[in-house]
Chains A and B, each alone.
Chain A
Amino acid sequence: MDVAPAHGPAGRRTPLRALYAAARMPALHFLVIGGALATLDAARSVPPAPPARPPIVITAARVEQIRDDYTRDVGAPTRDELTALVAREADEEMLYREALALGLDHGDGAVKWRLVEKMHFLFGDAAGDPDAAYRRARELGLERDDFVIRNALVTKMRLMAKAASRSDEPDGPALDRALEEFMQTHADDYRQASRLSMTHVFLNAGTHGAALDATAAALARRLAREHLAPAAAARLGDPFGAGGTFREVAPRDLTKVFGEAFAGAVARLPLETWSAPIRSPYGLHLVWVSGRVASDLPPLAAVRSRVLRAYRSERRARYLGRLMDELRAAYPVEVEHAG
């Protein structure tokens, strides 16, 4: 796998390196976190990435706890489910440790609030004002192994990775090319339905009763003989609530009005000739198909915002995947098994 270890030689820019670089750029935090978490201590210098990662140990007790939690919420996990749950635990631990290494817990409002609350719980009024309480809490190391702070930092790492995934996004014509390529590779998501134009002459089953088939056959012969224009022919039939002429409608539009069987039959008709009678829930129809437009991809400009969103979403997922791959390569994980 093409993943440069975080502590490896300088060179190719990896997601983790990008995060370390980003952590030194306060402007990016603002971009990332929309102001809500933009309280990173900009003055503090960010350390370089640690040279080696100590192993992550998932204890047997923790595995049991994971199993119990899942059993309570969903039911007993299968062996594969348990493996996945444990792997997720390890992933979150990696993100948490990296967040601490990046100093993301410093100058963080949520972390501060949590520590102040803890101090007040432990010492009451003696905890002092929030700033004093916070300083003292950090001296006591109360931030360690706090699950609220842990969750906050894991989320923060993911948010930063999300923003960092935008940092090497192409722009201008290059972005348009990338979007065009993305649309082509996901063509099924953007393809527009085929369209068809038709006129039908409707014979109402309720009006014609037992004579319906004979009437339709006679009308079909007449249409074949007289070469009437479709619009004039439509006036030989019964009134139809949804109209007689349909221009460039998708198969779904026909299904909506005439039902599936009719829409399927019309899709197979040759152009510019009167069909044999086609049945719908309402009676029989003689159909003239005047044109077809094949299913096609729209121009990028018409769907650009949709494509851009999907493109970014895919890049984000890939970026986060690469970050996790990088971290998994850097962290040895040991899972203890009970017994």
Chain B
Amino acid sequence: MFPRHSFRRLAMLCAPLLCAATASAELPTQDWTRTETRADCASYTPLRSPFFGETHIHTSFSGDAAFVRVRTTPSDAYQFALGQQIGLPPYDAMDQPTRFAQLRRPLDFTAVTDHAEFLGEIRTCLTVGLPGYDDPTCQAVRTELANPPAGINAPIPAVVVAFQLSIQAENPSRLGLCGPGNVNCLNQAALVWQEELDAAEQFYDRTASCSFTTFPGYEWTNNLDGFNLHRNIIFRNDEVPAMPTSYYEQPLVEGLFDVLESDCLDQPGNCDFVSIPHNSNVSGGLMFQATNANGTPLTKADAARRAEHERLVEVFQHKGSSECSPGSSPNDELCGFEQLQRTQLFNNANPSAAPPPTNFVRRALQEGLRQHDILGANPFPLGFIGSTDGHSSLPGGVVETDFGTTGHLGVRDGTAENILSKIAPGGVTTNGGGLAVLWAEENSRDALFAAMRRREAYATSGTRPIVRFFGGRPPKDACGNPDFVEEGYTRGVPMGGELGPVLAKRSPRFAVMAMQDPGGNGEPSTPLQRIQIVKGWVDKDLKIHEKVFDVAGDDANGAAVDPDTCAPTGTGAATLCRVWHDPSFRVEERAFYYARVLENPVCRWSKRLCNSLGVDCSNPGSVPTIYRECCSGIVPDTIQERAWTSPIFYQPEGIGTSGQIRFSQGVSGDRLRLQLTIGRVPSDFDVAANGLTVTMTEPGGTYSATLPPGALVERTLGRSYSYDDPAGTIAGVKKVRLRINKRGTATLTLDTIGIDLSHVAQTNHRVAVQLASGAYDETDSRFWEAARGKLRAQR
């Protein structure tokens, strides 16, 4: 099941098994170890804090950013993230920026992800004396950059198109300026990559203050046929490959992973990475098609490998939402949110048909479940983050009030006319982008990276609400319980986690809590409107389904904005909380659940900008042509900022435990009774042929019973099995019954004769129950509670 590289990551997957806690609520176990030299963080908290950041920002080291006259570097980007002012193009003749930008609230972390493709090319063309500098393409680059940029309606300059086209070809090749064997560009790319690493090192706070974290990273820019198949590669620490892998070297995602495995995971040391795809909304349906990139069908190993590397998806960024679309989710009225209305990044045409459903993450998650049922592994078990994808070195430049004046694409949106146009790339259908939020013990690379890998992450459309989401068996009254967080971890999994049938055939419970963004330094604190839980699932006929549940708040709270002043009206909630169970739960159906938290509406950036320009749509004749999109209605006046938590994945092949130990006063008189529920047994589940092993692990020791092949007797073909031994010769097991119903749901009961379980403490403690048979191997870990000579599995 695990690909060959999993050893490095296994340490991070271990469950909180063996904790000598006595209370019934405990702290979550840290699932990472430190791989770098740095001070421990003074503010470390095992209950984890939310860290707000950005994993997708470009600087002048990206070719397309250089073409829109951006001159700021990765160091500038990190300074901006820390709250310092930086310059924006256009630059005047004294090489001074004519515009400036400053983040109102600093970020906690940032990964600069310049395009791997042109790192060396742009440097070559702009550094006199370098081999390739005198190539005609470089001359054209310099000519383009020496002249004022063409107007927004002018065709894209030929030299820019040449760069673009080179990353759209199926068999891409670098431009001629790179020289024989591309040595010019590769040599420079290695040096530029070193500068990226130097900047990341310089701004990473390794002191106990832990005020800011950087990650080395880059973007692999697969733009096949104009469709967006881009990924950001984020590294765990400063142990990174000597070079980024570009689309030129590896035009298929599997090839990218080949190189990252050989040059990172397979190297001695602690190199590790996550791959984060983005803008599936303009991928022509290709980003999440259920095949390999070369068209061959996915195998279980292919799916597992993809899932191992791609833990997260950038569900929201400046080129729109990739969550869902009205076409693919007609019953979800909120899927119209920030749709890009383009089929390709660089295409101005209005889409003539609804975009392919596999452009959207919700469909990818559903398809992932379906493939899991078909193949035995889910290729798309994706957690969510948001980011900007800005190209002006402005990480976290997301604020509605600022985006209209700073933009994200250098001089491309340097004027109101440009940014309010409907011309790709950029323009009025784009937005300020989102943020990535990670729940981690501290603000260090190892801790944040572990959060990314376990998907304890959420995306926002730019604001900073605080959202917790747990699934499992949280107390029904968790919303009134001061131990909400402790109980969430103790009795379940956080966002991004995986669950089995923890409440036997009943729905697991989900506890969600949201607190409104407290705002700050001029950024608003907008109340919450409601929380929804989005469920996706696949039925026994492999059909996919989705349903959206309103679980807290009120969508009819009357909140609105005054269109003239943008002042909000009406009220909302500062906090929302709900413990919810799924009324449509079926224990045998694979499903995911994610929470969507809606704020009250505010003015969209475009509305603010149009208002500030004095545009009066009620008097069309007065509206200048260059501002016509203010009144065209192609974008709404308001936006409901929102957060999307990573999904919790329900895995029907997991087990749920109930049972008890009845302790006796005498020797060897303790009796164990276990009742295990399996939501759906896999097709190759065969206890008669494989036997089975039940193991109970706890701090005091282990109880294990293995029934060998043939021990369980098949009573009804494939449906019921039994084992009886009044003498209890195998670990005291007296009786085992296994019943599998037509839907594949199984119940296994096990009773022992009196045995010695004196290693089991008669206090509340955590017990892990494991059931293994053939390839099947599942564990349920929960508290068992002591009461009057008994120990019972907590419900």
Contacts and interface: CB of A to CB of B under 8 A. Distances in A.
A190 B351 CA distance: 51
Nearest to A296: B209
Interface string B446-469: 000000000000000000101110
A256 interface: yes
B93 A69 contact: yes
A36 B575 CA distance: 60
Contact of A206 (B128, B134, B573): B573
Interface string A65-82: 000011011100100010
A206 B575 contact: yes
A73 B90 CA distance: 9
Given A69-B93, A110-B128, A302-B206, A243 B466 contact: no
Interface in A294-312: 298, 302-303, 305-306, 309
A103 interface: no
Contacts of B573: 206
Given A205-B574, A305-B202, A73 B466 contact: no
Contacts of A239: 478-485, 513, 577
Interface stretch (B40-48, B307-315, B738-746): B40-48
A282 B575 contact: yes
Nearest to B576: A206
Contacts of B94: 81, 84-85, 88
Contact of B129 (A74, A155, A246): A155
A193 B211 contact: yes
A25 to B, nearest CB: 19
Interface string A278-318: 00111100000000010000100011011001000000000
Contact of A241 (B128, B134, B484): B484
Contacts of B574: 205-206, 281-283
A247 B45 contact: yes
Contact of B516 (A152, A252, A281): A281
A235 B106 CA distance: 32
A247 B41 CA distance: 10
Interface in B186-205: 191, 198, 201-203
A242 B148 CA distance: 49
B443 to A, nearest CB: 9
Contacts of B202: 305-306, 309
A207 B513 contact: no
A81 B98 CA distance: 14
A236 interface: yes
B165 to A, nearest CB: 27
A114 B93 contact: no
Interface residues of A, number: 69
B88 interface: no
A36 B127 contact: yes
A256 B207 CA distance: 20
A108 interface: yes
Contacts of B519: 259-260, 281
Contacts of B483: 235, 239
Given A113-B134, A206-B573, A239-B483, A298 B209 contact: yes
A323 to B, nearest CB: 19
A33 interface: yes
Interface string B491-521: 0000000000000000000000111101111
Which residue of B45, B128, B133, B520 has the most chain A CB atoms within 10 A of its CB atom? B128
A51 interface: no
Interface in B112-168: 127-131, 133-134, 148
15 contacts: A73-B148, A88-B94, A110-B134, A117-B134, A195-B43, A205-B574, A241-B467, A243-B47, A243-B485, A246-B45, A248-B43, A257-B49, A282-B515, A282-B516, A298-B207
Interface of A: 33-34, 36-37, 69-70, 72-74, 77, 81, 84-85, 88, 108-110, 113-114, 117, 151-152, 155-156, 192-193, 195, 202, 204-207, 234-250, 252-253, 255-260, 262, 280-283, 293, 298, 302-303, 305-306, 309
Given A74-B92, A250-B211, 8 more contacts: A73-B93, A74-B93, A88-B94, A192-B209, A193-B209, A202-B482, A206-B573, A262-B518
Interface of B: 39, 42-45, 47, 49-50, 52, 90, 92-94, 98, 105-106, 108, 127-131, 133-134, 148, 191, 198, 201-203, 206-209, 211, 464, 466-468, 478-485, 513-516, 518-521, 525, 573-575, 577
